[in-house]
Structure 1
Amino acid sequence: MKRRSRILSLVFLSAALCACPCLAQDLEAFKARTMRQGPTDLKNRPIYGVAVADSMVKIPPRNPLLFKPSLADSISISLAGNESQGAQVVVFSPSAPLEAVTLEWSDLVGESGSISNRDIWAAPVGFVQTAKPDEYETPYVGWYPDPILTHVRQFEIALGDFQTIWYSVSAATDTPAGEYKGSLTISPANAPPHKVDVSVTVRPFSLPARPSLNTAVGLIQGAKTLYAFENPSHQRRVELEDAIDRFHARYRTNPPDIYRPWPPYPTEFARWKELGATSFNLAYLWDRRFDPATGEPEQKLQEEIARAYKQMKESGVEAAPYFYLYDEVDKSLWPQVKQVAAWVKKNYPDVPTLTTLLDKSYGLASGLDSIDAFCPIMHEYNLARARQARAKGVKVWWYVCAGPFKPYPNVFIEYPLIDTRLLLGFMSFAYEVDGFLYYKMSSPINNNKCISGGPYTDWNPASYQSSTGHKWNGDGHLWYPGPDGPVTSIRMENWRDGLEDYEYLVLARESTRRLNEAGGAQSAAKLQRQLDLWALPGQRIVKSQGNYATDPATISQALDEISRIIIQARRELNALKEQAK
């Protein structure tokens, strides 16, 4: 029955494409391009085709042209030390399903050393079936790629589908610069294997271990809520929370705790210290735990905070604590916010407050001068006003959630992957934000189970539902619960890529600054002007908050140019140091 439904879907898609000759011709050209490489039979006829696509492009299995992918013959990746990057391999079988497909990848070998296959992984991309959302427009309703099925060891590629495989490589901080070569082998049980060539270029610098862009993310009550369907024991919850925090650390993201209704415990402080977290929420303060009689948080919460604060100091954790308070509240609750913020300043003057309350002046005209950091929604962020607030010592972050919609970027299932990457990277740098907030990283809504099976999964992607019943696909849901913890997604991979892009920009800015301070002012100014073409609003990548680059090739070109700026600035700085000896 399942195979019959897939064949019918293929027939319906073909019929729709035939109704528009230009689309049908484009699809045939795409098929032909995919079939340029792959195994052949005894009569030299292709059995299945294999091509390579960028990691910033979604390729739906039955609508592959939706996001206009460009194809290549081999995997080519450039990355710095302490960076992870990926590519997608597209497999198309026009004559028969490919059964029990397995993947194998080699070490990457170069003149100066090698990258072990332990630092590489590959897995099929899974599909989730969307329904039409109520609040925003989408170009297509149906099967979208999203989860990366790292738990799947064998998988089927359906007849006529475009199946993507995610290939990821990580370079250690001490990986020597240079070119490394290897392969990825795709082996169906009912067809010959095919080997995809891999070339990885490691750049002569490394990204910092600790993230430069601060993040604050949520998971409501963590594993307790996300895995409630299995009624986990205390020990099971502890293990899952550990897996979740470690997953976020690998993706340059702080622990998911902004809405958690209790302060952290010593085991968490120790883990966050080990993982190099940059910040964490000491407690969520909001109206439900406010005592109007005293104008302070309720007594029990105060006691919990005092316990956690003492344990935090004893732990030696380097991450900076903050209080997250009053999520998206309007003026009606501002008097209460002032009381709570004043209580924080009195009792914990070294712990700043962060809020998404709806104050477009960032405290400049509202009287909310006890707030240390405001976080407006991304499309309402005002750079000039944020600079004024920062001049007074106030930080200004930004966030997305169930909005904004196009033309602004967001992380919905139906939105381009480049949106996610730019939000965390070039856009956050261009608009000088002090941090990025996202309210929920994984959602049990409409599922209440671990993801399983695939590539076609039974996971319902409608991860957010409003009080009026309206649904969003992928909102508040960037990774999937698996039996052993988080299962990544193509959006989560681009989330990390964006944070790594941000590091490139920081390194370039710091390299030109140091060159200038060392006496190379003229050269530093020239390099800074070149950097500005990629880094500032109104330039090549980010024209405005709702107008930005959509071609992955532009991002790749930018990273190549920014890398050149870093390398040249450091080379000239070293030359000046040698001259000064």
Structure 2
Amino acid sequence: EVPVRPGGTYLLAVWGRCRDLRDGDLRLHLHIHRADGTLSADSPMRGTGTGIQDTTDWTLLSGTFTMPADAARISLHLTTEGQGTLWHDGALAVEVVPAVPATWEARPLPQDAPLAVRPVNPLIKVFPDEPVGPSAPPVLDLAGNEYEPLQLAVRSGRACRLRITAEPPRGPGGAVLPPPEIHVVGYVPVDYPTNYYRDDNPEWYRKIPHTSPGCDGFPGMWPDPLLPRAELDLPAQETHAVWVTFFAPSGAAPGEYRGTVRLLEAGSGSSEAAAEVPYTLRVRGFSLPPTTRFKAIYDVRLGPGSADWPGGLDAWYRPLASLMARYRLCPDVVRPMPRFRLEDGRVTADFTAFDEAARWYFDEMQFPHSYTPWDLYLFGWGHPPKTAWGEPPYPGDYPYEGADRARLRPEFQRMYQQALRLFWDHVKAKGWADRFVLYISDEPFFREEHIIKQMQALCEMIHEVDPAIPVYCSTWHHVPDWDRSLDVWGIGHYGVVPVDEMAAIRASGKRIWFTTDGQMCLDTPYCAVERLLPYYCFRYGAEAYEFWGVAWTTYDPYRYGWHAYISQSDKPGNRYWVRYPNGDGFLIYPGKPIGLDEPIPTVRLAQAREGVEDYEYLVMLREAIARGKAAGQDVAEGEAALRAAEELVSIPNAGGRYSTKILPDPDAVPRARRAVAEALE
């Protein structure tokens, strides 16, 4: 135990390593005690974040923690729920003065210096205090039916308004590609680096984060929204980013295309450009498939900040889904959903609006997936199932204390199964059944015996309707007690399930998705996880990844790049406040705060599209290798390129909030993709 003072900030750290640590990871935790030995009333048990597992060499587990008002002593704990061999060394607890980076100082440009412009890998975020040096003209690669962004960092010694133009790329035999899209990157403030921040104080307490961050970000202005405008108001001595996005139609003539991006100073009276950036596009001799095979699933929901989405989800669902289709992402569910009603003691369904929506969703938008209607979702975390058309799941009153969770009320089962059977029979008749997955539960408390039994009983009820109905659950972990219950496992991509265990799940005939809540925050220096998730899926056999929100805001996101504390309950009788990671749940901004009647994409959304397109490259190369082998051809180059692309990712890893750890070299991604393209050609 270590004495501490209230309000003091302490660095806690230990070196750890492990060998064959399975079914859990090694983490550093602290318990905060009052003077009388009891636990603090303010988040008394805290941890340093992601731990280590499997076989991992010496790794520093550390974090800083500010002590609550009733703190007197802390105790440090190395904890694991797994089995294996562990080592630790050099434990440290010391009071520190907390500090974070404020601003970086770049050499100022003279006021009369030429406008400085430099191409930057779009995986890398451009910050206002970055210097801009000279560089070679950009060369971009893309296939037919593919988008490819060019990011330019722009800096001036004086304030100016710039107008950006980009001529259509011209290539072999006079071929011309479509005019590129131009976006100016917007910057949003972040007050405190990302993590999940819990607060158990009453509603009227002021709530601010006071525990350690869980990302590689810092406070300041962060690039995120892609504003659909071709004018940039550039402050003096600041660097801002411009995106120019090219598209090559399917079947575009292969070869080199050229053009120029020009930046003209508005109001200068001169027709000469303040800067010109000549570019080259190499269009490859193949095209991506006409429909996206990969499933990158983002829930379309609006949060407490929905006033910025006038008309609510009914008004914005199709504009949001249409934008997602352009970015090769998939919504969670067909809307409007069927209208279920209880009539004369039976569940009925009206599919009129749903059928029209499903035809638009599957045929016009070409989305590859939908969950079954959210009416059929059953429970989350440690809660009992919701009622089914007025029928409670267990005898007695909510929360059904003492009820046998393995025995559902027959009346509950009958109502739920009536609704499910109506829906399932309908989509089978329409030929859509293979597109649907039933999402049963989010993050269930799988270590609690009553939740284990509850899940088993609910899955049995579903499979009584049709054993072919695929049941999905975002468990994060593998739960052997549910091997006979779940069909699609939603597990973490950073190593909570060992690689060999994932392979065993797939070998048993089950499917794997990666569940990714909390991973895509806006305050990471690189758009790493957004780009790499399809690589993780390809390498480790996951057929999809899913993320809980694409437009869920709590504040005006242009003014506040963080979330409000929201009230949340994870089990009956337990309610608390939580602030989600910065940018978590929204990769699309509302247009209203900036005077536009359209949803606004982000650099993160654009890199998610790039990742989905990269996945098509990998699948096409794998298929080409198989054909080549069957024909007796030498496929060594293709195998080497595919192996290098797969080795961009590994499990276990630090998780999506640590972009600089999971992607130490952002330039490795375009290099690997270029090698895959050359092997395909």
1:9 is matched with none
Which deviations, in whole Å up to 9, do the C-alpha atoms of 1:414-436 show, x marking residues without a partner? 11334134432322222222210
Find the residue that maps to 2:325 and give its secondary structure: helix
2:160 is matched with 98
Asked if 1:472 corresponds to 2:551, the answer is: no
Is the 8 Å Cα contact of residues 102 and 219 (structure 2) preserved in structure 1?
no
How far apart are 1:300 and its partner, in Å? Answer: 6.5
How far apart are 1:343 and its partner, in Å? Answer: 2.4
Q: Gapped runs of 5+ residues in structure 1?
A: 1-14, 18-22, 36-40, 403-409, 452-456, 568-581
Match among 232, 242, 247 for residue 311 of structure 2: 232
Separation of aligned partners in 2, 1:125 and 1:509: 36
How far apart are 1:303 and its partner, in Å? Answer: 5.6
How far apart are 1:542 and its partner, in Å? Answer: 4.1
Which deviations, in whole Å up to 9, do the C-alpha atoms of 1:172-205 show, x marking residues without a partner? 1111111111122222224453332121111111
How far apart are 1:446 and its partner, in Å? Answer: 2.0
Asked if 1:181 corresponds to 2:296, the answer is: no
Is the 8 Å Cα contact of residues 441 and 477 (structure 1) preserved in structure 2?
yes
Aligned in 2, Cα 1:172/1:126: closer, same or farther, shift over 3 Å? same
How far apart are 1:16 and its partner, in Å? Answer: 7.1
Asked if 1:372 corresponds to 2:487, the answer is: yes
How far apart are 1:440 and its partner, in Å? Answer: 0.9
How far apart are 1:211 and its partner, in Å? Answer: 2.6
Normalising by the residue count of structure 2, what TM-score does the alignment of the two structures yield? 0.67
Aligned in 2, Cα 1:469/1:345: closer, same or farther, shift over 3 Å? closer
2:332 is matched with 256
Match among 343, 355, 363 for residue 266 of structure 1: 355
Aligned in 2, Cα 1:240/1:115: closer, same or farther, shift over 3 Å? farther
Aligned in 2, Cα 1:553/1:231: closer, same or farther, shift over 3 Å? closer
Asked if 1:279 corresponds to 2:369, the answer is: yes
Which deviations, in whole Å up to 9, do the C-alpha atoms of 1:17-61 show, x marking residues without a partner? 7xxxxx75xx33xx77xx9xxxxx9xxx53422221111110111
Match among 272, 288, 299 for residue 207 of structure 1: 288
Match among 37, 42, 46 for residue 113 of structure 2: 46
Is the 8 Å Cα contact of residues 117 and 134 (structure 2) preserved in structure 1?
no
1:6 is matched with none
* Counterpart amino acid of residue 311 in structure 2: P
Is the 8 Å Cα contact of residues 417 and 462 (structure 2) preserved in structure 1?
no
Match among 134, 141, 150 for residue 78 of structure 1: 141
2:464 is matched with 346
* Counterpart amino acid of residue 80 in structure 1: A
Find the residue that maps to 2:361 and give its secondary structure: helix
Is the 8 Å Cα contact of residues 373 and 396 (structure 1) preserved in structure 2?
yes
Asked if 1:241 corresponds to 2:331, the answer is: no
Separation of aligned partners in 2, 1:548 and 1:70: 27
Aligned in 2, Cα 1:549/1:430: closer, same or farther, shift over 3 Å? same
For residues 293-312 of structure 1, what are the structure 2 equivalents within 5 Å?
293=394, 294=409, 305-306=420-421, 308-309=423-424, 311-312=426-427
Separation of aligned partners in 1, 2:134 and 2:156: 16
* Counterpart amino acid of residue 545 in structure 1: N
* Counterpart amino acid of residue 257 in structure 1: V
Which deviations, in whole Å up to 9, do the C-alpha atoms of 1:489-512 show, x marking residues without a partner? 011111111111111111111100
Which deviations, in whole Å up to 9, do the C-alpha atoms of 1:423-459 show, x marking residues without a partner? 3232222222221011111212123xxx7xxxxx424
Find the residue that maps to 2:292 and give its secondary structure: coil
How far apart are 1:121 and its partner, in Å? Answer: 0.3
How far apart are 1:162 and its partner, in Å? Answer: 0.3
Q: Which moved more, 1:470-479 or 1:122-131?
A: 470-479
For residues 402-441 of structure 1, what are the structure 2 equivalents within 5 Å?
402=518, 410-441=519-550
Which deviations, in whole Å up to 9, do the C-alpha atoms of 1:448-482 show, x marking residues without a partner? xxx7xxxxx42443377574344421111111122
Find the residue that maps to 1:426 and give its secondary structure: helix
1:10 is matched with none
Separation of aligned partners in 1, 2:421 and 2:373: 10
Is the 8 Å Cα contact of residues 645 and 672 (structure 2) preserved in structure 1?
no
* Counterpart amino acid of residue 204 in structure 1: G
Is the 8 Å Cα contact of residues 589 and 601 (structure 2) preserved in structure 1?
yes
Instruction: Report the structure number with the largest CA radius of gyration.
Output: 2
1:20 is matched with none
* Counterpart amino acid of residue 171 in structure 2: G
2:152 is matched with 89
* Counterpart amino acid of residue 484 in structure 2: D
1:406 is matched with none
Aligned in 2, Cα 1:155/1:566: closer, same or farther, shift over 3 Å? closer
* Counterpart amino acid of residue 515 in structure 1: G
* Counterpart amino acid of residue 386 in structure 2: R
1:560 is matched with 674
Find the residue that maps to 1:109 and give its secondary structure: coil
Match among 294, 297, 300 for residue 219 of structure 1: 300
Is the 8 Å Cα contact of residues 213 and 436 (structure 1) preserved in structure 2?
no
2:505 is matched with 389
1:531 is matched with 641
Separation of aligned partners in 2, 1:390 and 1:543: 16
Which deviations, in whole Å up to 9, do the C-alpha atoms of 1:116-172 show, x marking residues without a partner? 444x2011100000011344244421101000111x454411111101101101111
Match among 58, 61, 70 for residue 125 of structure 2: 58
Find the residue that maps to 1:167 and give its secondary structure: strand
* Counterpart amino acid of residue 438 in structure 1: F
* Counterpart amino acid of residue 276 in structure 1: Q
Match among 590, 602, 605 for residue 489 of structure 1: 602
2:79 is matched with none
Which deviations, in whole Å up to 9, do the C-alpha atoms of 1:45-87 show, x marking residues without a partner? 534222211111101113x27xxx9863433210111111112
Q: Which structure features the higher share of helix residues? A: 1
Is the 8 Å Cα contact of residues 306 and 554 (structure 2) preserved in structure 1?
no
1:108 is matched with 169
Alignment size in residue pairs: 498
Asked if 1:516 corresponds to 2:593, the answer is: no
Q: Which structure features the higher share of strand residues? A: 2
Is the 8 Å Cα contact of residues 493 and 651 (structure 2) preserved in structure 1?
no
2:186 is matched with 126
Normalising by the residue count of structure 1, what TM-score does the alignment of the two structures yield? 0.77
Separation of aligned partners in 1, 2:671 and 2:589: 32
1:407 is matched with none
Q: Gapped runs of 5+ residues in structure 2?
A: 1-100, 194-208, 340-350, 379-384, 395-408, 569-575, 655-660
Q: Which moved more, 1:492-501 or 1:545-554?
A: 545-554
Is the 8 Å Cα contact of residues 77 and 201 (structure 1) preserved in structure 2?
yes
How far apart are 1:400 and its partner, in Å? Answer: 1.9
Find the residue that maps to 1:169 and give its secondary structure: strand
CA-atom RMSD in angstroms: 3.2
Aligned in 2, Cα 1:16/1:382: closer, same or farther, shift over 3 Å? closer
2:435 is matched with 320
